[in-house]
Amino acid sequence: MLAIRPCTDADWASVWAILAPIFRAGETYGVATDIAEGEAYATWVTKPTATCVAADEGGHILGTYFLKPNHEGPGAHVANCGYAVAEAARNQGVARAMCRHSQAAAVARGFRAMQYNFVAATNAPAVRLWQAEGFAVVGTLPGAFRHPRHGFVAAYVMYKTLI
């Protein structure tokens, strides 16, 4: 059974162990591949409205997500999220469970929609999952993502109305 709960300071070492290899690979997130741990903590935990972890029955953290407004002011009713799953836990429904949890958390916080701003087109598993969860590609940014193996690839803007 997967438990999704708020992230605590005690969780950070496990969260960073998930994030660091994903960020370092440079294949899915628009962050510097050499991002410092402190900066990653601020980006993933301090600045967002909420950060959660997904843990197995033994309490091992398998994934994490953050939730925040996509923009301030007139756009503050649209949520933005980022998700990360430990390599050993991929293809086990962790990302899907966190996506669904984040949508419910967004609605509970008064968000009316959710937008993913920069989904690398080469991240096919994520694109398929988000589309299966009702997100639509509403924009394509040609060559906007510099992939370390594929060069300049498209990035998608994906959107879903929540209420």
- Per the document, the length of the chain is 163
Q: What share of the chain is helix, strand, coil (3-state, %, to 5)?
A: 35, 35, 30
Which residues span the domain enclosing 60?
3-161
- Amino acid identity at 87: E
pLDDT in tens, 104-120: 999 999 999 999 999 99
pLDDT in tens, 5-25: 999 999 999 999 999 999 999
pTM: 0.96
Q: What is the CATH number of the domain that holds 32?
A: 3.40.630.30
As for how many domains the chain has, the answer is 1
